[in-house]
Amino acid sequence: MASTRTTRRPQGNPGARSGRPRGMTRRWGLLVAIITVGVLAGACAQAQPGGTVPTGATGTGGTGGTGPWLTLLRTGGLAGVHDQVTVDASGHWTATDKAGRSRTGQLDQSTVDGLRALAADPRLAAQASRSAGPSRCQDAFTYTLTVSGRRLSYVDCPADPDQPDAWKAVVDLVARSVLG
Query: What angle, 0 to 180 degrees and rounded to 10, lies between the N-to-C axes of helices 165-174 and 109-119?
Result: 160
Burial 12-42 (b: 16+ CB within 10 A, else e): eeeeeeeeeeeeeeeeeeeeeeeeeeeeeee
Cα separation of 147 and 89, whole Å? Answer: 11
Determine, yes or no, domain membership for 7.
no
pTM confidence score: 0.62
Per-residue pLDDT of the chain in tens (180 residues, 90 and over written 9): 555 555 555 555 555 555 555 554 555 444 444 444 343 344 333 333 333 222 223 333 444 455 689 999 999 988 889 999 999 999 999 999 999 999 999 999 999 999 999 999 999 988 988 887 888 988 899 999 998 888 999 999 999 988 899 999 999 999 999 998
Q: Beta strand pairing status for 68-76 and 141-147?
A: antiparallel
> Looking at residue 89, what is its pLDDT?
92
Determine, yes or no, domain membership for 44.
no
Domain count, the chain: 1
Determine, yes or no, domain membership for 73.
yes
Pair 115, 87: CB distance under 8 Å: yes
Determine, yes or no, domain membership for 118.
yes
* Full domain range(s) for residue 154: 68-179
- Give the residue among 90, 99, 118 at the shortest CA–CA distance from 175: 118
Determine, yes or no, domain membership for 61.
no
> Looking at residue 33, what is its pLDDT?
45
Rounded (5°) CA angle 132-87-174: 55
Determine, yes or no, domain membership for 19.
no
Pair 85, 71: CB distance under 8 Å: yes
Determine, yes or no, domain membership for 9.
no
Largest CA distance in the chain: 99
Sequence-separated (6 or more) residues with CB below 8 Å from residue 97: 81, 82, 83
Determine, yes or no, domain membership for 155.
yes
Residue 76, beta-bridge partner list: 81, 141
